[in-house]
Structure 1
Amino acid sequence: MEDKDLELGDMENTIQERVHRFLDRVKKEESLNEQITPSIDLAPRKLREVSPQSFSPRVVSIGPLHRDDENVQAFERKKAIYLIKLMNHITSYTQETIMNSCMEKMYASMEKIKACYVLTKTYDDVEFAEMMVMDACFILGFIYETFEEKSPDMSHAEDVVRDLVLLENQIPFFFLKEIFECTIAKLMPNTSLVQFMHPILSILSLFDSYEGFSIPENIFIDDTHDHILGLLHKCHKPSENDNNKEEPFSITKPHSAVDLDKAGVSFKPYRSQTWVMGMETEFPCLLWSWCKCTFRMPIFYVTDFTEVTLRNLLAYEELRQTHDYITSYAFVINMLVNTQDDVAKLIDSEVLVNHMGSNEEVANMINKICKELAYVNSLYHQHWETLDNYYNSYWPNHIGWMRRTYFSSPWSMIALVAGSIIFALATVQTIFTIRGKK
């Protein structure tokens, strides 16, 4: 009986000890979650299923989420080459000194860095530290060699840039900045990490401006970026001077670019020094339903990078539940484009630049971009409501109907002209017949 009591007592002590360990771990994780919310996660399944290739790296893995992908293994050796080259450029310090500094930064922030990821695999501290330092040094070394040193080896440059924007292929920005200070800052002391990232951000930019891509001033003040993708997202943030308010977006009556054009809407580029994604509706007179409408919108720059960049920004907004700048625009461009004719109209209006391929390819890409996206509070609600009201007003509506009915094709125009001639001849014949009888 005593032995049984002892066994029960030991079991109770064991359970109590395990409970203490469990509660300690839970409290530790809670403390970490209060410090930082995971910002690097797998894309939402519904978005990944629409376009799996848009979320997986082609050549290089950054961080732990795609570390074991078969297609990125061959590039791991090249990371070491970029690391050695980067350290060799810093002639005022030995390689051991540089690496010791990087590792000290890594181990000091180990738990904070791990908390940024929703990890799918367990890594010991040594393995995790070496992986993160290698990847951070590779990113910095790649940018330096490609855009500062103008390296002739550009065979994988485009694929690498593409992989650096993927949601699941990121490294915490605060840690990248720490490694930057240990390395690139020694070579370029008057350059910030955000300035250093400019070439990458410029290539990945979704929108064009007449002055080229520029980083908004508020980005240099704000130093709380999640990662490279998060930094790119903030580059599209409206300034405080822009009065756009997020409101529920109704898309019950979408009108394509061609339909709006036939109703009298002209498309023109939006010119602003404050927000590259701004939109405006303009009327030359107070009787807006009786005069032509001008819709100014951002210049959408479509390249081979566009779909991947756009999809990852959309996934980032959905996961982080942040402001829906990109999602707002995606719904608008999706409504405007139904066919390649709509793409052609936007190109002619200089609000879309096509460097991707045929207009049909661009239309197909845009038509699929909002699939599985949840409706959002849009920054462009008021503009679209104005366009819808204008389109449905008496004069534009009837003008649009006439254009669609009689001027949609050369044959309909020929039929209209022929019908008018026949009607005129019949009228003249009737008049002469009546006069002849008199």
Structure 2
Amino acid sequence: MDHQGQSSGSDSVVLEMDSLLNELKRKLKSLKSSKAQPQEDSFPRIMVAKVGHLRRNVCNSEYDPDHVSIGPYNHPRQLPTQQDKVRSLLTVLSAAEEEEPSMTVEVYLKELACLEDKARRYYANTFDDITSDQFVHMLLLDGCYILSRFASFPAKHTAHAAGATRSSAFAAELEDLAVVRDVFFLAENQIPFFVLEKIGELTVPGGSAHVGKWIADHALELMKAQRYAVAAPAMVPPELTAPENLLHLLHMHLKPQETDALLPTATGKGAADDKPVSSVGRWRTATEYSYAGVNFKSQEMSEKGGVRCILDVKLDSGGGTLEVPRLDIDNETWRLLRNLMELEQRNREAVGSYVTAYCVFMSQLASDKKDVELLSKRGVIVHAHGNDGEVAQHFADLCKGIMFDTSEPKINYLWDIRQKLEKRSRSYPRRWMAWLKRKYFSNPWLAVGLLAAAVGLVCAIVQAVYSVLSYKQGWN
């Protein structure tokens, strides 16, 4: 009996091992298959991934769509715009039929089916629960919805126009804002840009190029309206020549000018310092820098100037004035910045970490009510929140859960500026002079009194010296 029992237990172990072996073989085969993809797909792609739990726990709502779900991560989410997607498909088909009467929905499905494998590789998840038919169906409806909103197809009727007739102009404007927020701003709510280009190519002659221009123009106007950037990005090597998705398109506008000049030298030292001042990478607050004699100056952006986006932070040649582009803050500012940082967290080698470096800088610079008050007075921050304390709390929470080392010069484009400001902040003569200026020269009457006292002291010293000299001459 014991022998039979041992044999039965051994058989179960063998069965479990066989099951485990088959599962591992399947995974290895899948991995080898993904590595064997054509060379054209081997460049660093912008991966669309789920937002990490640490960042979601801070503010979960900043990453979820409220109006329209796009892409496989939000595929099961039932939002009011599902029927609008079908109307958008009709809009695209109507535009296609005006150019080519034989164009049917079957053609679109077949063409997108050929892109399914490539599109799936742009996501960190495999989505095994979404069938091929469901995935292609999703790409078609989501792509048509985006294009019906942001492309200028020559259709007689658009889904957006039809929706506008059913609601007031004000409601339509609110809907437009909600669509922009969900479609452009959210890291998870994305489909590959080449899907949009393919739909455009099937719809109108030269549609692929037209789609790129239409959406790029819309993105630029959006960045200008929000005062985040005023000029189109330079889409030339080593930059990617085209965006991978709509959030990446916005990210391409946010690159500081003269980046190479801002970075430290290859030896890891600052341009003006022999060695780093401190291994601690935290920025001081605005009030602390002010106590050390650092002035803050708001910079206006210009297409022809050296300030083209909010990331163009500069320190003047004397090291006493920090020039920061004006940041206009509204309720969507935090959402956009968080999702841009999420894009960089997942794709640092492909897109860099400029936005993360900027957000860490601002979150530590303006982490207290007094800091926000100071920066608001200098015009660096403009906000419509209830009070400065609320804005400071938003800044304090902005980078929670973000992995970023400000002490690493290779990823922090503001590293050299922080080194120079830290050196200035540790200078006791500069701190003393700044205290004297703040204590006595901020008030004109105190300044006059101090000047009068200094003049009186000088006169008293001169009189004393004169009296001594007169006494000695008389004695002689």
Where does residue 68 of structure 2 map in the other structure? Answer: 60
Q: 1:266 aligns with which of 291, 296, 299?
A: 296
SS in 2 for 1:218: coil
Matches within 5 A, 1:310-321: 310-321=337-348
Report how far residue 366 of structure 1 moved: 1.1
Offset from partner CA, 1:5-41 (integer Å, 9 cap, x none): xxxxxx9xx9999998665444223324973557111
CA distance in 2, matches of 1:278, 1:402: 31
Report how far residue 305 of structure 1 moved: 1.5
Aligned positions, number: 403
Q: 1:214 aligns with which of 213, 231, 236?
A: 231
Is 1:225 aligned to residue 230 of structure 2? no
CA distance in 1, matches of 2:146, 2:200: 10
CA distance in 2, matches of 1:170, 1:236: 19
Is 1:47 aligned to residue 52 of structure 2? no
CA distance in 2, matches of 1:178, 1:240: 35
SS in 2 for 1:208: coil
Relative distance call for 1:203 and 1:363 in structure 2 (3 A) is farther
Amino acid at match of 1:124: T
Runs of 5+ consecutive residues of structure 2 not aligned to the other structure: 1-14, 165-171, 269-275, 406-410, 458-476
Relative distance call for 1:25 and 1:91 in structure 2 (3 A) is closer
Where does residue 137 of structure 2 map in the other structure? Answer: 130
Offset from partner CA, 1:110-168 (integer Å, 9 cap, x none): 1111121213452221111111111011111112479x988443342212111112111
Relative distance call for 1:68 and 1:189 in structure 2 (3 A) is closer
Matches within 5 A, 1:18-417: 24-32=29-37, 35=41, 39-69=47-77, 72-90=78-96, 92-93=98-99, 97=103, 99-117=105-123, 118-144=125-151, 151=161, 152=164, 153-164=172-183, 165-183=185-203, 185-186=204-205, 191-203=210-222, 208=227, 213-218=230-235, 222-238=240-256, 242-245=260-263, 251=280, 254-262=283-291, 263-269=293-299, 272-273=305-306, 276=309, 277-283=311-317, 288=318, 293-322=320-349, 323-355=352-384, 358-376=387-405, 377-402=411-436
Relative distance call for 1:242 and 1:26 in structure 2 (3 A) is closer
Report how far residue 399 of structure 1 moved: 3.4
SS in 2 for 1:116: coil
Relative distance call for 1:237 and 1:341 in structure 2 (3 A) is same
Amino acid at match of 2:83: R
Q: Would the aligned equivalents of 1:180 and 1:193 in 2 still touch at CA under 8 Å? A: no
Q: Would the aligned equivalents of 1:58 and 1:163 in 2 still touch at CA under 8 Å? A: yes
SS in 1 for 2:334: helix
Where does residue 7 of structure 1 map in the other structure? Answer: none
CA RMSD of aligned residues (A): 4.3
**What TM-score do you get using the length of structure 2 for normalisation?**
0.71
Report how far residue 391 of structure 1 moved: 2.8
- Seq. identity, %: 21
Offset from partner CA, 1:60-91 (integer Å, 9 cap, x none): 1111111123xx43221111122222333445
Amino acid at match of 2:392: A
**What TM-score do you get using the length of structure 1 for normalisation?**
0.76
Q: Would the aligned equivalents of 1:325 and 1:379 in 2 still touch at CA under 8 Å? A: yes
Amino acid at match of 1:228: L
Report how far residue 239 of structure 1 moved: 5.6
SS in 2 for 1:59: coil
Q: Would the aligned equivalents of 2:373 and 2:388 in 1 still touch at CA under 8 Å? A: yes
Q: Would the aligned equivalents of 2:324 and 2:380 in 1 still touch at CA under 8 Å? A: yes
Q: Would the aligned equivalents of 1:204 and 1:309 in 2 still touch at CA under 8 Å? A: no
Amino acid at match of 2:240: D
Deviates more, 1:137-146 or 1:55-64: 137-146
Offset from partner CA, 1:41-72 (integer Å, 9 cap, x none): 10122111111111111121111111123xx4
